[in-house]
Amino acid sequence: MVDYEKLRERVEKQAEKAWDTKSIEGWFSRIAKEGIASKVDPKEVAADKPRILELVQRRAEECTYLSHV
């Protein structure tokens, strides 16, 4: 079941966030041209899982932000 209170809080937090639009657009343009790296070392990912999950979350939020700019 969806926790709408947590979801609402997260949306409000994202709405208040100061976004670095120029940097986000640069990153997005680069992956649009070059694609996303498809080869990763599973051992490297497992060893650095918390940082990678944080990066994935941040990139998802940035993509969501760009889709509404």
Its pTM stands at 0.60
Contact criterion met (CB below 8 Å) for 62 and 24: yes
Instruction: Copy the structure tokens of residue 7.
Output: 């979801």
SS3 breakdown of the chain: % helix, strand, coil, rounded to 5?
Answer: 75, 0, 25
Backbone CA torsion sign across 47, 65, 17, 20: positive
pLDDT in tens, 39-53: 878 888 889 999 988
Give the contacts of 64 (CB within 8 A, at least 6 positions apart).
Answer: 14
pLDDT in tens, 8-60: 888 888 888 888 889 888 988 998 898 887 787 888 888 999 998 888 888 88
Instruction: Copy the structure tokens of residue 55.
Output: 């990066």
